[in-house]
Structure 1
Amino acid sequence: MKKIILVLSILLFTLVSFTSKATSNKPLYKIVKDFESAITTKDRSRYFNLFYEGTISWIGVSSSHDFNQEKSRADTAIAKGERATQPMKTYPGDHIHFFDVIISPTNDSKIMFENVKIQHDGDIASVYFDYAFYAGDVRSAWGKKSLLLVNTESGWKINSVVFSINT
């Protein structure tokens, strides 16, 4: 009888813990959906409301394959005496430039997020997912994206964005 009570207690505790954790992720899943939607609909106000009011860290990292191909092309051109610019492995930026240039109203672009994974303690959060960026109907970039968020007086806000870039 004691074993049955112990097993039932463990099962009940596990179920309650899982339910509590799944429920507490809802605001963070909403941030991810709002981020995706604001980019696709080019909703400037909604997009900027997702970010922390202070400094935002923003950096893209070119895939090693793409970087090495571009570097080889540039090295070959330079060896032939042609003008060429060496590629960058990392691309620092910010959320303002991203919105104004990459997803400006004149661009027919959209973004899709999948495989969202969230970890948090109620005050800080890490969100990790796959993304695909489309220019029109053509997938122009894809990779992984990581958001760091802080829970402020006005709710969860994105404080850092790091992403890999494959083209």
Structure 2
Amino acid sequence: MKPVLAAAALCLGLLAALPQPALAENPAESRQKIEAVVKAFGKALAEKDKEGFLRLFLREDITWVGVYTDGSVARYRAGLKDPKEPTPKTSGGTPRMFIESMARKPEARTETFENVRIDTDGEMAQVLFDYSFMIGDYRSSWGKESWQMVRTENGWKIAAVVWSAEENPEPRPKQ
């Protein structure tokens, strides 16, 4: 019987020495950390903080897609010399292309987040909210935005961004 107990103790010791998987955060803790990422996104955009903005993403080559409403596409086409010219309904890019474009603009650029909904199991999350994109005091576009997020060793990271966009039909006032 002693050899069986010794073998069992040895096995338990070996199992205890193996790296243990990290336990998922509880949803309330995850929500707080994800809400902090949402705030950091808005702050980095407003401050044109490229490095701070890029640290929020899992990688630079994540899905980054906007889809424009039919009304926005029709208004854009109406302004073309050849309204039959194909106009994409979607736009793409990368987080880096976005923040670099925003940083080059002299006027303030901000994004508001309302009705933020977070669904998470502590390892991955879906974040959905209503947004407005502002250029100074002018509401340039609005719609819904969706983020897929994952919890990494370095905290919560945005793994995909998809949004709808209704472009403001009223022209931006002259400065």
Q: Which residue in the other structure is 1:30 paired with?
A: 36
Structure 1 counterpart of 2:54, from 28, 48, 57: 48
CA RMSD of aligned residues (A): 2.0
* Structure holding more helix per residue: 1
CA distance, structure 2, for counterparts of residue 108 and residue 34 of structure 1: 16
SS in 1 for 2:106: coil
Does the Cα contact within 8 Å between 2:58 and 2:157 map onto a contact in 1?
Answer: yes
The 5-angstrom pairing of residues 8-157 of structure 1 reads: 21-53=27-59, 55-71=61-77, 74=80, 77-78=81-82, 85-104=85-104, 106-157=106-157
Q: Displacement, 1:72?
A: 5.2
SS in 2 for 1:100: helix
| 1:33-92 residue CA offsets vs partner (Å, 9 max, x unmatched) | 111111111122211110113631100000122123334555xx538xxxx743210101
CA distance, structure 2, for counterparts of residue 146 and residue 62 of structure 1: 14
Q: Displacement, 1:137?
A: 1.1
Tell which structure's C-alpha radius of gyration is larger.
2
| Structure 2 unaligned residues grouped into runs of 5+ | 1-25, 168-175
Distance change >3 Å, CA 103–CA 127, structure 1 → 2: farther
- Normalised to the residue count of structure 1, the TM-score between the two structures is 0.76
Distance change >3 Å, CA 26–CA 112, structure 1 → 2: same
| 1:66-122 residue CA offsets vs partner (Å, 9 max, x unmatched) | 123334555xx538xxxx743210101110111011343634211111110000111
48-57 vs 148-157, which moves further: 48-57
CA distance, structure 2, for counterparts of residue 101 and residue 72 of structure 1: 25
CA distance, structure 2, for counterparts of residue 78 and residue 50 of structure 1: 40
Q: What amino acid maps onto 1:65 in structure 2?
A: G
CA distance, structure 1, for counterparts of residue 60 and residue 52 of structure 2: 17
SS in 1 for 2:64: strand
Does the Cα contact within 8 Å between 1:55 and 1:159 map onto a contact in 2?
Answer: no
SS in 1 for 2:130: strand
SS in 2 for 1:78: coil
Identity of aligned residues (%): 35
Distance change >3 Å, CA 54–CA 66, structure 1 → 2: closer
Does the Cα contact within 8 Å between 2:27 and 2:120 map onto a contact in 1?
Answer: no
Q: Which residue in the other structure is 1:10 paired with?
A: none
